[in-house]
């Protein structure tokens, strides 16, 4: 059974996270030994994929220089980008394969480790069947690796269960966009943002989670545009809003249906557009009739006057954009929330034009590219449905297998963990995913991993999930391999290799190929370079929705990115979708989609009367596997705090800095209070990047959206009381 070989405290002492502050050679070394080259590449720490130049000397990354010519961010970077170079050469970096023994992880070699993994996969599959092994991927991987992982799972392992941590990111939006438009991509380039007359930001802590987008929003304001922000918290992007809608957690869809209600009531819809380019309008129009602003106000906590105002601004604008992120997507009705926003854009004709559209702000490094080519449980390369028979034939021909040999849809990330827990799945191969921090209800995840008969983790660092592994393989960082990613605009970018992996660590795709060979797949996993994987991916995506066939590394370099679809070599790419009013469904029309309200999977009641919502801070990235090791970033916000309104705090006798004991139906934990007027008084907020007793995911619940399979991080029910300082409160992060 997969249990940590040593107490977690001991593993943390050995493998970190430790805090590194200084670059190789120390602070003053660069003046004596300057960089030998500057490599133009991209930041790895969110879906914006800002251009950055990394300073390289003697096969080490020693600093950064802004890349001012890169058009998307023009040199701008957030603190994660500024400090991203500190992950290279980190003292916690795994340098050898590790195998679990009775007294800890012992250093192994690649032959032994890979042979062992292949043997265990074969043994478990012989005993329990092909689908008893699951594969986890991640959206920080390059698109080549993501593609290869999908092929590896389906061809080499032969399992239908492959999914990835993007399942925790923006799959609700992806599902809603596919339903409405037939394609999963933000339709607008970011340069459209400053051209909008009105922008509504719905459930996005834009300034902290996609910081450089802030400048685009402020430029919209400078151009005379108006900003509406919908959030239970005032986050930094709300400091210049013209209208603030403090929605009660989990009631978003009613707010958006009410906005549509006012638009239709006051005849602000674009009937010509609706008639010519959409279907399903009448049903949606009927469905919003009951959602008067007064009715919605009581449920959402947003005043009727504010709903009226938002509706009129959106309905009367020449060009309006709605931008949304995890706030609406991380709900058990995440798809409905996104569909309700799309319905507003369709009804007002705000789509497919300059400054007009509905866009999702994808969060993860390769959140867009990582989901297009096959590590999603229900998709094949090119964003094809795994049940699309023509698509299966095409991909099978590229993979040189029979179409029937490609498994059908498997379980999503949450369902895979559930099946490990129930015993249906017995083994897990995980790369670039840290479910012990990122999945809800940590105790459940822990039990599931402990039940596994075999766990293999591939990562550059010892993640909290790797503690449970039988074998930990030292993989690569973004700067150690060449490849592509797609940013928040669907723009395909070229990641340059800056350095080789240190020690015995290896480039991820070579590890996957070596494992595939040991599973009996020789010729199908023979690649000499990332470029060869990319060329195969281009073929596999050809004719699909996310068609990459016309994209090459050289073309990306020349144009500083190519937005897909790009079907032919002479095609310039597609910065803005739907310009001709033509959508990706067979009839060319967009769909209005019904968005019935239903209660959260963890409703508030007398025992648990307070909403708990979770999110991120600007200085940390996702589960913190990389960023909880970078001293400067950790110092900015060392541990999770609980944001609470003074009204709620006072009623519990809680003052700023007091410890608050939070209990949900799953468990309890203690956090320090930050008493602030910038949050609804019926809601508390805790960011999620931390592990163990600091993890708010000890308290969140496993309810998922039935279609997107995303967990409901944004709405839990809790009760709070004044608590005692926990044991961890006196321990600061350890410098090595």
Partner 1 sequence: MTEYGFFIDPSRCIGCKSCENACAECETHRGYPMIQVDFIDRANSIATVPTVCMHCENPTCAQVCPADAIKKTEDGVVQSSLKPRCVACSNCVVGCPFGVPKMMSSIDQMMKCDMCYDRTSAGKRPMCATVCPSQALAFVPIEQIKRERKLTPTNVFRFGNQEVKTKVFMMVPETVDEISIDVVDYIWERGADHEAIA
Residue 300, interface with partner 1 (CB under 8 A)?
yes
Distance CA 435, CA 469 (A): 12
| Contact flag: residue 214 with partner 1 (CB under 8 A) | yes
**Residue 418 is a binding residue for partner 1 (CB under 8 A):** no
Q: How many residues does the chain have?
A: 736
Nearer to partner 1, 396 or 720 (CB): 720
Pairing of strands 641-644, 427-431: unpaired
Q: How many alpha carbons fall within 13 Å on the CB side of residue 636?
A: 16
Interface with partner 1 in residues 317-346 (CB under 8 A):
none
Residue 118: which of 429, 416, 391, 402 has the closest Cα?
429
Cα–Cα distance, 99 to 454 (Å, whole number):
12
| Position among 154, 233, 426, 629 found at the interface with partner 1 (CB under 8 A) | 233
Instruction: Check binding of 144 to partner 1 (CB under 8 A).
Output: no
Query: Is 30 a residue that touches partner 1 (CB under 8 A)?
Result: yes
Of the candidates 588, 716, 696, 712, the one whose C-alpha atom is nearest the C-alpha of residue 172 is 712
Q: Alpha-carbon distance 545 to 565, whole Å?
A: 7
Q: Is the peptide bond before 565 cis (omega within 30 degrees of 0)?
A: yes
Structure tokens at 388: 């699309």
Q: Name which of 76 and 485 has its Cβ closer to partner 1.
A: 76
Up-side HSE of residue 302: CA atoms within 13 Å toward CB? 34
Cβ proximity to partner 1, 239 vs 558, nearer residue: 239
Residue 646 binds partner 1, judged by CB under 8 A: yes
Please report, for the chain, how many H helices and E strands are present, in that order: 24, 28
Q: Which stretch binds partner 1 (CB under 8 A): 119-127, 160-168, 303-311, 336-344?
A: 303-311
**Smaller CB separation from partner 1, 401 or 676:** 676
Q: Assess contact for 662 and 726: CB atoms under 8 A.
A: no
Q: Residue 486: enclosing H or E segment and its boundaries?
A: strand 483-486
- Subset of residues 650 to 669 that bind partner 1, contact rule: CB under 8 A: 656
Structure tokens, 306? 């504010």
When binding is defined by CB under 8 A, the residue of 377, 618, 686, 699 that contacts partner 1 is 618
CB of 222 to partner 1, least distance (A): 5
Q: Is 62 in the site for partner 1 (CB under 8 A)?
A: no
Q: Which of 25, 79, 403, 581 binds partner 1 (CB under 8 A)?
A: 79
User: Tokens 């709900």 map to which residue?
Assistant: 331
Q: Which of 303, 403, 418, 543 binds partner 1 (CB under 8 A)?
A: 303
| Residue 640 to residue 326: CA distance in whole angstroms | 19
When asked if residue 720 is in the footprint of partner 1 (CB under 8 A), the reply is: no
Q: Does 68 bind partner 1 (CB under 8 A)?
A: yes
Query: Does an H or E element contain 662, and which?
Result: strand 659-663
Q: Which stretch binds partner 1 (CB under 8 A): 65-73, 461-469, 486-494, 662-670?
A: 65-73
User: How many beta carbons lie within 10 A of that of residue 123, not counting itself?
Assistant: 14
By CB under 8 A, the residues from 370 to 399 that bind partner 1 are: none
Nearer to partner 1, 44 or 458 (CB): 44
Shorter beta-carbon distance to partner 1: residue 233 or 324: 233
Q: Is 517 in the site for partner 1 (CB under 8 A)?
A: no
Helix (H, G, I), strand (E, B) or coil at 719: strand
Asked if 226 is part of the footprint of partner 1 (rule: CB under 8 A), the reply reads no
Q: Applying CB under 8 A, does 267 fall inside the site for partner 1? A: no
Residue ranges with strand state E in 303-450: 320-324, 357-360, 379-380, 384-385, 427-431
Q: Which of 555, 613, 546 is nearest to 584 (CA)?
A: 546
β-sheet with 37-42: strand ranges across: 37-42, 51-57, 60-66
Phi, psi (rounded to 5 degrees) for 66: -60, 150
Number of residues forming the site for partner 1 (CB under 8 A): 67
| From 104-112, 227-235, 413-421, 480-488, span contacting partner 1 (CB under 8 A) | 227-235
Residues 237-266 that bind partner 1 (CB under 8 A): 237-240, 244-246
Query: By CB under 8 A, is residue 686 in contact with partner 1?
Result: no
**φ/ψ (deg, to 5) at 172:** -65, -45
Q: Is 221 in the site for partner 1 (CB under 8 A)?
A: yes
- Establish if 672 lies at the interface with partner 1 (CB under 8 A): no
Residue 32 structure tokens: 């004596």
Q: Does 638 bind partner 1 (CB under 8 A)?
A: no
Nearer to partner 1, 402 or 656 (CB): 656
297, 436, 437, 492: which one binds partner 1 (CB under 8 A): 297
Question: Of 304 and 693, which CB lies nearer to partner 1 in the complex structure?
Answer: 304
Candidates 19-27, 159-167, 440-448, 599-607: pick the segment binding partner 1 (CB under 8 A).
19-27
The one among 130, 219, 497, 559 contacting partner 1 by CB under 8 A: 219
Give min distance, CB of 605 to partner 1, in A: 20
Q: How far is the CB of 636 from partner 1 (least distance, A)?
A: 6
Using alpha carbons, select from 367, 382, 377 the residue that is nearest to residue 412: 377
Bond prior to 17 in cis (omega within 30° of 0): yes
> Where does this chain bind partner 1 (CB under 8 A)?
21-22, 27-28, 30-31, 63-64, 66, 68, 73, 75-79, 81-83, 207-208, 211-212, 214-215, 218-219, 221-222, 224, 232-240, 244-246, 297-298, 300-306, 618-619, 632, 636, 645-647, 656, 674-681
């Amino acid at each position: 059974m997969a249990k940590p070989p040593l107490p977690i405290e001991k593993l943390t002492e050995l493998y970190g996270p430790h805090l590194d502050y200084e670059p190789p050679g120390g602070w003053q070394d660069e003046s004596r030994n300057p960089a030998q080259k500057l490599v133009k590449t991209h930041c790895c720490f969110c879906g914006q994929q800002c251009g950055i130049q990394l300073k390289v000397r003697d096969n080490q990354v020693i600093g950064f220089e802004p890349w001012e010519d890169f058009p998307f961010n023009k040199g701008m970077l957030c603190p994660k980008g500024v400090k991203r170079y500190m992950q290279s050469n980190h003292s916690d970096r795994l340098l050898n394969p590790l195998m679990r023994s009775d007294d800890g992880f012992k250093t192994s070699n690649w032959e032994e480790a890979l042979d062992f993994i292949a043997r265990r996969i074969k043994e478990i599959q012989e005993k329990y069947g092909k689908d008893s092994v699951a594969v986890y991927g991640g959206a920080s991987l390059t698109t080549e690796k993501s593609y290869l992982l999908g092929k590896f799972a389906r061809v080499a392992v032969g399992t239908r269960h492959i999914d990835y941590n993007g399942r925790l990111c923006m799959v609700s939006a992806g599902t809603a966009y596919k339903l409405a438009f037939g394609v999963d991509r933000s339709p607008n380039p970011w340069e459209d943002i400053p051209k909008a007359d009105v922008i509504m930001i719905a459930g996005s802590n834009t300034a902290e989670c996609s910081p450089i987008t802030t400048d685009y929003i402020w430029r919209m304001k400078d151009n005379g545009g108006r900003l509406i922000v919908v959030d239970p918290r005032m986050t930094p992007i709300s400091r210049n809003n013209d209208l603030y809608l403090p929605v009660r957690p989990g009631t978003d869809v009613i707010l958006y249906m009410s906005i549509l209600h006012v638009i239709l009531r006051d005849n602000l819809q674009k009937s010509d557009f609706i008639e010519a380019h959409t279907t399903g309008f009448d049903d949606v129009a009927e469905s919003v009739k009951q959602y008067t602003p007064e009715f919605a106000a009581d449920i959402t906590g947003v005043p009727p006057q504010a709903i009226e105002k938002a509706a009129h601004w959106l309905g009367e604008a020449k060009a309006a954009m709605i931008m949304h992120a995890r706030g609406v997507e991380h709900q058990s009705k995440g798809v409905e929330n996104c569909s309700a926003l799309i319905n507003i854009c369709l009804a007002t004709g705000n789509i497919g034009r300059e400054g007009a559209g509905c866009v999702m702000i994808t969060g993860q490094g390769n959140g867009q590219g990582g989901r297009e080519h096959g590590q999603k449980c229900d998709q094949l390369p090119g964003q094809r449905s795994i049940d699309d028979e023509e698509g299966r034939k095409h991909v099978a021909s590229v993979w040189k297998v029979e179409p029937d040999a490609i498994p059908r849809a498997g379980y999503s990330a949450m369902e895979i963990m559930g099946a490990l827990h129930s015993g249906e799945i017995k083994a897990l191969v995980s790369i670039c995913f840290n479910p012990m921090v990122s999945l809800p209800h940590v105790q459940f995840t822990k039990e599931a991993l402990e039940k596994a008969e075999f766990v293999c983790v591939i990562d550059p660092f010892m993640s909290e999930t790797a503690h449970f592994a039988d074998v930990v393989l030292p993989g690569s960082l973004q700067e150690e391999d060449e490849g592509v990613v797609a940013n928040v605009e669907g723009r395909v970018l070229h990641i340059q290799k800056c350095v080789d992996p240190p020690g015995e660590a290896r480039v991820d795709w070579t590890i996957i190929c070596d494992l595939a060979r040991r599973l009996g797949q020789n010729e199908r996993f023979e690649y000499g370079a990332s470029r060869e994987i990319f060329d195969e991916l281009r073929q596999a995506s050809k004719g699909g929705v996310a068609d990459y066939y016309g994209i090459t590394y050289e073309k990306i370099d020349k144009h500083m990115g190519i937005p897909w679809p790009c079907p032919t070599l002479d095609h310039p790419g597609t910065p803005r979708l739907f310009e001709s009013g033509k959508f990706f469904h067979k009839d060319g029309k967009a769909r209005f989609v019904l968005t019935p309200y239903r209660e959260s999977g963890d409703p508030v009641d007398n025992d648990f009367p307070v909403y708990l919502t979770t999110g991120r801070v600007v200085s940390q990235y996702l589960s913190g596997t990389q960023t909880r090791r970078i001293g400067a970033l950790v110092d900015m916000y060392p541990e999770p705090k609980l944001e609470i309104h003074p009204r709620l705090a006072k009623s519990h006798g809680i003052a700023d800095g007091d410890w608050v004991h939070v209990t949900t139906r799953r468990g309890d934990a203690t956090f320090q209070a930050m008493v602030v007027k910038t949050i609804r008084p019926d809601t508390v907020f805790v960011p999620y990047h931390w592990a163990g007793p600091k993890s708010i995911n000890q308290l969140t619940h496993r309810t998922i959206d039935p279609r997107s399979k995303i967990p409901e991080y944004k709405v839990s029910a809790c009760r709070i009381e004044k608590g005692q300082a926990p044991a961890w409160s006196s321990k600061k992060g350890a410098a090595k």
